[in-house]
Structure 1
């Protein structure tokens, strides 16, 4: 599976950056940390293998039948209108917030900290955005699937969905939304284009778009840092100024690249700290910010005080540093339980991928795109239980998929 090979390379790069990159983390349980994260990933990959070999799909003709193109087009237009409406609201609200703050220039860094310091609840709008969040994923997915047959005005609708989605996150000064949109497009394109010969022009277009995406990502980071020299520390982590990356690249590139590398590596430092603290179970409610906040309010108990993030906050700030999905999942039933969860999620990922690849259904393909986002963010965060949009999208699609798909084990 090509995707697994790419993911292995991605994970290996993060581990390599953590141990040998320009960010010099304090020496806490490094050997134990290495073997722990190695076991987590090995079990995840073993789950991929078991899911691809031992779990099979049994879809009847009725269950496997796809919706007609006309019905898919109607769903695309409906979901696109809803998505554009909410994105427009977010863009307008953020733009007004920026104007009211008196910012004289639109730097990603200034905007990011402005929104970080002025987070507010928007009541019914926030709840509706969360409830309808699966439609934003579905609209892009169907748009990619039907792209060849879409009329010009329908293609414009798809462009508006993508652009408004990107703007709604760029105005927050965060790169998170860029990853969501780009990964959704890439995974959908990969699934639907399998078996279809890609022209040289499209290959060239993809080759040009990827550097543009990387450049935009690095620009946002550079703007947020807002410095043109190599500092001694970034976010409390010491920088090795003699590292080779600073000798081969200018500061404007090497510094954002180093910080970008820390996105997929710094969470492992939280893993190394985790072993220094006693375990207090959060009873299944502590695996992400979203879940913690909701159940703490419902049950009247602050579950956050039992988490590893709370305990290590003086050494590794929970609001500004990454902790990996492994630390978040460990809050519930201990760090050894993560081994089982990695294996199960690996199996699920493989089975959903198999269904999407074989049947090219909207639900399975969109669900696999969301799973891909979760997998990409494992080195940084448990995005599934921390982001309400990912949470709602994953579980709503998963319930629909599991009800429509019969999976059986064949040893």
Structure 2
């Protein structure tokens, strides 16, 4: 169990790398060898942090010896505290999404039509980005921590919740789908929801018998399949609206890549739905490695410790009326030199971090990440520590997006949520290192 997360993650990274090298999407001037060596170095650093956490346990300290009765009393108090905390997060999360729902319902009720998903996405992201900055959206930015915590701990403590809180949590999930997938036309939230749920169910499986464990595995597989089918449908609708096909995708994308129309995906699913699945497998999950390859060709320009986060670079540009920070990033210079859009395409997390720490420094960061990630996992295994469940889930989400971008720090809501989550763990995780009842 100690090595399960890092083994699963290694399989995931190697799979995405394989899809990048041999999938239906093909690239021009792709330095596959250099990318392979770099990703190997990344996994080595992550394993090094994992090994240090297992061997030295610097953060995971033993509690003083207490009697069984004293330990039980502390565990009961902690359970009551965390139950109250979960209730608060559910209420805040529901209120946040309900405000968004009301705003859209008042301004544009037709946005909730299933047939308008693709149009809504392009209207918001390409034509009218200023519509994001409303009071409900600003409230969402500030409550990202509670929204994530309500999903993670709400699912984990589902059995402990009273019926009214279960109902509120279900309504929150329902409004997440209605607002994000229908009104905004986005599916990232659905990926986050599935990732968090699968992680929590996997933790729950450790305390389950074989029959229940089999059910958890079955439900997890079903959730992943639903995610893939939903994503494929949405992507197919988006590209059909734009007139993008398998044949003209390369030209419409700037001429740096193209699809192999003879690939078995298109033979089985056809060009329309095959394009949606191909975008998922070789666009979202693995095309970032090609962007990384292009960034390797550029010289280092320091971004003053801010360029790793798009939100922070934009904040500085607003406060000081300068675009120098983002202009110096690998992502922007890649756009200028090679024509690959650093924001509208995914280029892995590494060019973001390398803009501040160099590509070597970006690798070394993952020694620390691997250490904290594994420490949280050890506290989950031994204590079912709810604070570590939160941090482990968030870090796992960030690691899943390694082939894409710096997911946890790029936008304002994820930036605030991640910082809050890390501080919350640093201050409170040791208090919950008692065996769960």
Q: Name the counterpart of 2:265.
A: 245
In structure 2, do the counterparts of structure 1 residues 332 and 248 end up closer, same or farther at CA, with 3 Å as the change threshold? same
Q: TM-score, normalised by structure 1?
A: 0.89
Mapped pair 1:58 → 2:61:
yes
Partner deviation per Cα, 1:53-100 (whole Å, 9 max, x = no partner): 332511536998464544433323322121111112223334555557
Indicate which of 286, 290, 296 corresponds to 2:317.
296
Q: Distance in 1 between matches of 2:160 and 2:422?
A: 28
Say whether residues 1:145 and 2:156 are aligned partners: yes
Q: Tell whether 2:121 aligns with 1:119.
A: no
Match of 1:163 in 2: 174
User: Using a 3 Å threshold, how does the CA distance of structure 1 residues 361 and 316 change in structure 2: closer, same or farther?
Assistant: same
1:105 and 1:181 mapped to 2: Cα distance? 20
- Give ranges in structure 2 of 5+ residues lacking alignment: 65-69, 432-437
CA distance in 1 between partners of 2:9 and 2:246 (Å): 31
Match of 2:23 in 1: 21
Instruction: Please name the residue that 2:203 is paired with.
Output: 191
| Larger RCO, structure (CA 8 Å, separation 6 or more) | 1
CA distance, structure 1, for counterparts of residue 313 and residue 404 of structure 2? 18
Runs of 5+ consecutive residues of structure 1 not aligned to the other structure = none
Q: How many positions carry a matched residue from both structures?
A: 406
Secondary structure of the equivalent of 1:238?
strand
- Deviation, structure 1 residue 357: 2.6
Where do 1:387-402 residues align within 5 Å? 387-402=411-426
Aligned CA distance change for structure 1 residues 248 and 310 (closer, same or farther; 3 Å): same
The 10-residue stretch of structure 1 (216-225 or 39-48) with the greater mean CA deviation from structure 2: 39-48
1:182-331 to 2 correspondences below 5 Å: 182-197=194-209, 198-199=211-212, 200-226=214-240, 230-234=246-250, 235-236=253-254, 237-261=257-281, 262-302=283-323, 303-314=325-336, 315-331=339-355
Is the 2:294–2:334 Cα contact (8 Å) retained in structure 1?
Answer: yes
Flag the 1:370–1:46 CA change in 2: closer, same or farther, 3 A: same
Give the SS at the match of 2:409.
helix
Stretch deviating more after TM superposition (59-68 or 136-145): 59-68
Aligned to 2:8: 6
Higher mean alpha-carbon deviation, 121-130 vs 85-94, is at: 121-130
**Inter-partner Cα distance in structure 2 for 1:206 and 1:191:** 12
Deviation digits for residues 85-139 of structure 1 (CA, Å, limit 9, x no counterpart): 11122233345555578x9863432121111021125355444322222111222
Kindly indicate whether the alpha-carbon contact (under 8 Å) linking 1:222 and 1:252 is maintained by their aligned counterparts in 2: yes
RMSD: 2.7
Q: Which residue of 1 aligns with 2:67?
A: none
